[in-house]
Amino acid sequence: MHPPLPVPVSVNTIAELIGGEVRGEGACLITRLASLESADARSIVFLSGRRHARAAAASQAAAVIVSPELESLLSAGVARILVADPYLAYARLSQWMASQLANAAAASHSMAAQAIDPSAHIADSALIGEGVQIGPGVTIGAGASIGAHCRIGAGCAIGANASVGERSVLHPGVTLYDGVRIGQRALIHASTVIGADGFGFAPSPGGWIKIAQLGSVLIGDDVEIGANCAVDRGALDDTIIGNGCKIDNLVQIGHNVRIGEHTAIAGCVGIAGSAVIGQRCMIGGGVGVAGHIDICDGAIIGGMSLVERSVTEPGFYTGAWPLQTHTQWERTAATLKQLPQLRQRLRALASKVGLTKDPE
| Predicted local distance difference test score (pLDDT) of residue 7 | 93
Residue length, the chain?
360
- Provide the CA 272 distance to its chain's centre, in angstroms: 19
Q: Are residues 266 and 121 in the same domain?
A: yes
As a whole number, mean pLDDT of residues 130-147 equals: 97
Helices 86-108 and 11-18: angle between axes, nearest 10 degrees: 110
Q: Which amino acid is at 35?
A: S
As a whole number, mean pLDDT of residues 10-27 equals: 97
Q: Are residues 88 and 173 in the same domain?
A: no
Q: Are residues 47 and 188 in the same domain?
A: no
Q: Are residues 94 and 192 in the same domain?
A: no
Inside any domain, residue 185? yes
Contact 326, 303 (CB under 8 A): no
Inside any domain, residue 350? no
Q: Are residues 144 and 291 in the same domain?
A: yes
Q: Are residues 131 and 102 in the same domain?
A: no
Inside any domain, residue 85? yes
Of the ranges 56-60, 61-65, 108-112, the best mean pLDDT one? 61-65
Please report, rounded to a whole number, the percentage of residues in the chain having pLDDT higher than 90.
Answer: 81
Q: Which amino acid is at 214?
A: L
| Predicted local distance difference test score (pLDDT) of residue 106 | 66
Q: Is the pLDDT of residue 111 over 70?
A: no
Q: Are residues 251 and 284 in the same domain?
A: yes
| Predicted local distance difference test score (pLDDT) of residue 108 | 56
Q: Are residues 287 and 310 in the same domain?
A: yes
Q: Compute the mean pLDDT over every residue in the chain, rounded to the nearest whole number.
A: 93
Q: Shortest CA distance to 248 belongs to which of 264, 261, 271?
A: 264
Q: Where are the alpha helices (DSSP H) in 67-201?
A: 86-108
Report the CATH number at residue 98: 3.40.1390.10
CA-CA distance, 23 to 72, in Å (whole number)?
12
As a whole number, mean pLDDT of residues 318-327 equals: 81
CA-CA distance, 132 to 146, in Å (whole number)?
8
| Predicted local distance difference test score (pLDDT) of residue 114 | 77
Nearby residues of 38 by Cβ (< 8 Å), 6 or more positions away? 1
Q: Is the pLDDT of residue 158 over 70?
A: yes
Q: How many domains is the chain built from? A: 2
pLDDT bracket for residue 77 (50, 70, 90): confident
Q: Are residues 63 and 121 in the same domain?
A: no
Report the CATH number at residue 129: 2.160.10.10
Q: Is the pLDDT of residue 105 over 80?
A: no
As a whole number, mean pLDDT of residues 65-80 equals: 94
Q: Are residues 20 and 61 in the same domain?
A: yes
Q: Are residues 75 and 121 in the same domain?
A: no
pLDDT digits 0-9 by tens, 260-280: 999 999 999 999 999 999 999
As a whole number, mean pLDDT of residues 325-354 equals: 85
Q: Is the pLDDT of residue 360 over 60?
A: no
DSSP string, 223-243: -EE-TT-EEEPPSSSPEEE-T
As a whole number, mean pLDDT of residues 34-59 equals: 94
Contact 120, 140 (CB under 8 A): yes
Q: Are residues 175 and 231 in the same domain?
A: yes
User: Which residues are part of the catalytic machinery?
Assistant: 255
| Predicted local distance difference test score (pLDDT) of residue 358 | 57
pTM: 0.81
Inside any domain, residue 316? yes
Structural domain boundaries, residue 19:
9-108
